[in-house]
Chain A
Amino acid sequence: MANKIKVEICLGTTCYVLGSFRLSALEEQLPPELKERVEVVGCACLDVCHDRNYGNAPFVRINEDRIVDNATIEKVIDILRDEYLSGGNE
């Protein structure tokens, strides 16, 4: 079995204030096909908000490289399903 897909939710203050506190429910809301494949963790500031780019917070990082801005639970699930589940991006 391939390694789990790692999803890091930024709990840096800017992301938290602009909505990442709502993302903690992501794990529970994963659809069955993603449930076993995905690991959801909180993390310290990912450092993408600096360059005055905070307007796009909250940020989520997938597998250390893919940054999702304006993250919502639905958006993250769509990306996981489209880009990671088909096997193209692993």
Chain B
Amino acid sequence: MNNAERTRRQLMIRFIQEFFSGDLGENIDRIPVEMRPRTEEPVRCCVYKDRAMLKYRLMALMGFGMEEETDESRRLSDYLADAKAGNNHTEPVLSVCSVGCHGCVDSHVQVSNSCVGCFARPCVGACPKQAISVVNQRSTIDRTKCINCGKCMAVCPYHAIIRNPLPCEDACPVGAIGKGEDGRVRIDFDRCIYCGKCFRSCPFSAIMERSQLAGILQAMVDGKEVIAMVAPSITDQFPGTIEQLFAALKLAGFSDIMEVALGAEMTTAHEAEEFFERMERGDILMTSSCCPAWVEAAKRHIPDIVRFVSSTPSPMAYAGQITAKAHPNAVKVFIGPCIAKRREAQADPNVDFVMTFEELGALLAAKEIDVISLEAPPLEHPAASYARNFAKSCGVSQAILQEIGEEKPDDTRPKIDEKFINGLDRKSVNLLKLYAKGKLPGNFVEVMACTGGCVGGPCSLAR
């Protein structure tokens, strides 16, 4: 576990503990100082920068982006009062803290000191743009010609040519990362699909997600009925059984728990039906639609594929419908590993807040609830195992195949030929453009923005 993850989680635990003890308003402005006293070695350039970043991280935990800061001397306790009253926007769900951004140089290929100016000079031959020449016994890249293809890197026997990365931009599958005039990163929210890959990749923790924790905790403190709708990817995220985990959620302050895997059962049934309807009417393709980052990517970057994206509601949407019917006045919280779900939830009247697995872990830690020591009764309505596997890559297809059942010899229904996109990156986005044009085999494409499916999500607890 790296220092960034550790600091983020420690801060969450502290924030939640003090939120419930009622001392947060009084103490929140002290937290950055207490966590980074000047007697300790700083991690960034100095303790003051460390503290400033903790301050912005606390703002993000309350749902505020640094972009909104108009008065630098405004106290965190004032932001807290706003957050408790629901006056935080938490939109867009990602925020770049430009104070923390290192302003990394643009990704490029360069020759390191390890170059020995060898006789064979494979780099010179491999370069498709004739950008490499040898000057003073060392390969030199002409930046005006180089296209950063990396072919020279691949052939150098000394590994002397390296790629200098720009981590957030390299991680972004859709080219939504750019830079402002100050050299700091900006997210282009017209292109962003909220997959959270940049947030996870920034070595300086400068990209933050704007949390909705304050609203959820306040609802609990106010004694409201708060329902947890837990995503199928919860399995393997915590020690202990799913029954113990649900018992822990009740101790943590949720009035009731809904397994979103039950929604996944409904998604599966409808999606299977929809597939046959579409094939019968002559569609060449259908893609899954449960991954909100994928749906955004289709809308913003692959307009040709939009008509092939399944219109079946996601497991969260179904779970929200069921929960809203059973508990009309409750505060409904979806809990999952996903940032893009925040965006999906904002458009869904049946989901009030989204909590991440990381935040749930911090909540249980803050309340000192030891999951594996709990006694737990069996679940009243356990979801089917195929539905719980929905969140793994290929899980959607497998669930649908199971729903369709074994194909019989006299089966006249169209055959399903399933393909998987296991994680969105620039390459797979291009592949999907080809699928949209009917240039690749397969009639059902399951797309997961995160590698391995939701279980590899940006806010998962145990990756």
Residues of A within 8 A of B (CB): 11-14, 16-19, 21-22, 42, 44-45, 49-50, 54-55
Apart from A13-B370, A54-B13: 18 A-B pairs, beta carbons within 8 A:
A12-B372, A13-B365, A13-B368, A14-B13, A17-B362, A17-B461, A18-B6, A19-B1, A19-B6, A21-B462, A22-B1, A22-B462, A42-B239, A42-B372, A44-B373, A45-B373, A49-B368, A54-B10
Q: Is the CB of A21 within 8 A of B370?
A: no
Q: Is the CB of B361 within 8 A of A17?
A: yes
Residues of A within 8 Å of B462, CB to CB, are: 16, 21-22
Residues of A within 8 Å of B371, CB to CB, are: 13, 16
Chain B 417-438 interface residues, beta-carbon cutoff 8 Å to A: none
Q: Knowing A22-B1, A44-B370 touch, does A16 contact B361 (C-beta < 8 A)?
A: yes
B376 sits at the interface (CB 8 A): no
Sample 26 A-B pairs with CB under 8 A, ordered by A number.
Answer: A11-B240, A11-B372, A13-B248, A13-B361, A13-B364, A13-B368, A13-B369, A13-B371, A14-B13, A14-B365, A16-B239, A16-B361, A16-B371, A16-B462, A17-B361, A17-B362, A21-B462, A22-B1, A22-B462, A42-B239, A44-B370, A44-B372, A45-B373, A54-B10, A54-B365, A55-B10
Residues of B within 8 Å of A42, CB to CB, are: 239, 372
Q: Is the CB of A17 within 8 A of B370?
A: no
Interface centre among A16, A17, A44, A49, by most chain B C-beta atoms within 10 angstroms, is: A17
Interface centre among B9, B358, B370, by most chain A C-beta atoms within 10 angstroms, is: B370
Distance in Å: Cβ of A33 to nearest Cβ of chain B: 27
Q: Knowing A11-B239, A22-B1, A54-B13 touch, does A17 contact B364 (C-beta < 8 A)?
A: yes
Residues of B within 8 Å of A12, CB to CB, are: 370, 372
**Number of inter-chain CB pairs below 8 Å:** 56
B204 sits at the interface (CB 8 A): no
Number of interface residues of B (CB under 8 A): 22
B276 sits at the interface (CB 8 A): no
Distance in Å: Cβ of A30 to nearest Cβ of chain B: 20
A43–B238 Cα gap in the complex (Å)? 14
Residues of A within 8 Å of B239, CB to CB, are: 11, 16, 21, 42
A17–B8 Cα gap in the complex (Å)? 11
Chain B 355-381 interface residues, beta-carbon cutoff 8 Å to A: 358, 361-362, 364-365, 368-373
Partner of A18, one of B1, B248, B369, B372: B1
Residues of B within 8 Å of A45, CB to CB, are: 370, 373
Chain B 272-292 interface residues, beta-carbon cutoff 8 Å to A: none
Residues of A within 8 Å of B370, CB to CB, are: 12-13, 44-45
Chain B 1-51 interface residues, beta-carbon cutoff 8 Å to A: 1, 6, 9-10, 13
Q: Is the CB of B461 within 8 A of A21?
A: yes
A88–B113 Cα gap in the complex (Å)? 47
Residues of B within 8 Å of A21, CB to CB, are: 239, 461-462
Residues of B within 8 Å of A44, CB to CB, are: 370, 372-373
Q: Is the CB of B372 within 8 A of A17?
A: no
A54–B240 Cα gap in the complex (Å)? 21
A71–B372 Cα gap in the complex (Å)? 20
Residues of A within 8 Å of B365, CB to CB, are: 13-14, 17-18, 54
A19–B371 Cα gap in the complex (Å)? 15
A11–B344 Cα gap in the complex (Å)? 33
A23–B303 Cα gap in the complex (Å)? 45
Residues of B within 8 Å of A16, CB to CB, are: 238-239, 361, 371, 461-462
A76–B140 Cα gap in the complex (Å)? 46
**In this complex, what residue of B is CB-closest to A22?**
B1
A19–B358 Cα gap in the complex (Å)? 12
Q: Is the CB of A18 within 8 A of B461?
A: no
A54–B35 Cα gap in the complex (Å)? 12
Residues of A within 8 Å of B369, CB to CB, are: 13
Q: Is the CB of A18 within 8 A of B368?
A: no
Distance in Å: Cβ of B405 to nearest Cβ of chain A: 37
A11–B374 Cα gap in the complex (Å)? 13
Q: Is the CB of B9 within 8 A of A18?
A: yes
Distance in Å: Cβ of A73 to nearest Cβ of chain B: 11
A43–B423 Cα gap in the complex (Å)? 35
